[in-house]
Chains A and B, each alone.
Chain A
Amino acid sequence: MKFREKALIMDETAIRRALTRIAHEINEANKGVENVALVGIRRRGGPLAHQLASQVESIEGIKPPVGVLDITLYRDDLTALGPAPIVHRTEVDFDITDKVIVLVDDVIFTGRTARAALDALMDIGRPKRIQLAVLIDRGHRELPIKPDFVGKNVPTSRQEIVSVLVEEIDGENKVVIEELIES
């Protein structure tokens, strides 16, 4: 499948500003971050959670613990896909029980990834509360799930693809909309 970049949605500065605002919102919503931990959803939620944790630290002087969640084994579309997708490790090396966990992902679309992440998270402990932070909300929800913190709302068509690029994986921070030109 080939894709063509259709529009730049956010550049590096816009992403940084959005994460700064979300960091403030997390701080405000939880009256401080003493009991907050961030858990990124693989893959790009991981680096975003780390970036967000640094933003929180520069505001509050406390760096919340950061973990990474692999949701492959919790997906609801495993048997609808082709071959079994590669499973990676979940790396949450702190106890999530009684903490406020902010799940972090790059894009929320159908909500199915967030649903899987909720299940995966609850299997490793019992958080006091779970909140959801996303850089992009592109609409088209299929489940009753709504993020608590959103970087940018981007109305899209189902044929379009929203790609979030992060420094740690892609070498740069930006968000673009792509469209399929041939399948």
Chain B
Amino acid sequence: MRFDRRKDLLGLRDVSREEIEVILGTAIPMKDIIRRDMKKVPALRGKGIITVFYENSTRTRTSFELAGKYLSADTSNLAVSSSSVQKGESLKDTLKTIEMMGPDVLVMRHSCTGAPHYAARNTKMRVINAGDGINEHPTQALLDMYSIRERKGTLEGLKVAIVGDILHSRVARSNIFGLSKFGCELRVIGPSTLIPPDIEKLGVKAYANLESGLKGVDVINVLRIQKERQHGALFPSIDEYRELYMVTPEHLALAADDAVVLHPGPMNRGIEISTELAESSRCVVNEQVSNGVAVRMAILYLMLGGGRDEIAG
């Protein structure tokens, strides 16, 4: 499968290594465009992109909008909280309404796992999953992979640790699906209540102890503690979490010499990551934001840049 012939991007589970390489390779010239004074190319003139976020977002939605605008597409956002969704309109009816307005791509975030997949099946628009429940967040994982490759030169065979609430993390899942295609040695670190019991089936090693999990790793991806998803008492208190799992410069010293630290944002400084580490030159959190725009430009270009006749679905 060639990435540019896909109708939708719903998750990295079924995206091949070759497709990921095309996306990451295309993001390099896209990043050049973001750095120019003139941040606009005409490639997607006349294309329409709509973002529909049923959950809050700062960077993902904004970066999709800017990515579309930098490529000359018209982007629009459906503000769910002030839309007819609040009057009880069903997802299917909302989708049909949007489709009839003519956009080519629907970028969708939803708290329910599988909602973008449902949308993809029920509309002619292309659908990009911008995060669905605890399932996948493919564009975040792609920008993480881009950021890692930019710093380390390669993804091949790297040791990558993902720290935090793995159970509720679509970012962790997409990273695992993506990075495992590049032969990375993957570790997840967190309280056992926040690690899915069958995670090792994905070829990942689980650690309850932060120090032993971080030994010798090339990449530390620190996840946000998602207060909105902590319904049960899965860890005793924020203070105890901080005590056991907050990543600090002392932890970075346990990793490989030139290890890099990622965080998908927004950061809870002083809970999962110390301010000192967040501000250090080894932490690429700000670069991740720029890379997010470049990677989303690459995805939009590859999905919309060519003709439609040869595209499956």
Contacts and interface: CB of A to CB of B under 8 A. Distances in A.
Nearest to B300: A84
> What's the dominant secondary structure at chain A's contact region?
loop
Interface residues of B, number: 30
Interface residues of A, number: 21
B310 interface: yes
B306 interface: yes
Interface string A146-176: 0000000000000000000000000000000
A86 to B, nearest CB: 7
Interface in B1-56: 2, 4-5, 22, 25-26, 28-30, 32-33, 36, 38, 40-43, 46
B41 A123 contact: yes
Nearest to A72: B43
A79 B307 CA distance: 4
A73 B29 CA distance: 10
Contacts of A85: 305-306
Contacts of A89: 28-29, 32
Given A123-B41, A124-B38, A84 B28 contact: no
Given A78-B306, A82-B310, A87 B40 contact: no
Q: In this complex, which of A72, A79, A86, A89 has the most chain B Cβ atoms within 10 angstroms of its Cβ?
A: A79
Contacts of A72: 43
A86 B41 CA distance: 15
Given A73-B41, A74-B42, A124-B38, A87 B26 contact: yes
Contact of B43 (A78, A86, A88): A78
A137 interface: no
B64 interface: no
A20 B48 CA distance: 49
A79 B306 contact: yes
A83 interface: yes
A73 B26 contact: no
A48 B116 CA distance: 48
Interface in B216-236: none
A90 B29 CA distance: 7
Nearest to A71: B41
B302 to A, nearest CB: 5
Interface in B260-313: 301-311
A84 B4 contact: yes
B310 A86 contact: no
B29 A87 contact: yes
Nearest to B40: A123
Interface in A113-135: 119-120, 123-124
A88 B33 CA distance: 12
21 contacts: A70-B29, A73-B41, A74-B41, A74-B42, A79-B306, A81-B306, A82-B306, A83-B5, A83-B311, A84-B301, A84-B305, A85-B305, A86-B22, A86-B26, A87-B30, A89-B28, A89-B29, A120-B41, A123-B40, A124-B36, A124-B38
Interface of B: 2, 4-5, 22, 25-26, 28-30, 32-33, 36, 38, 40-43, 46, 71, 301-311
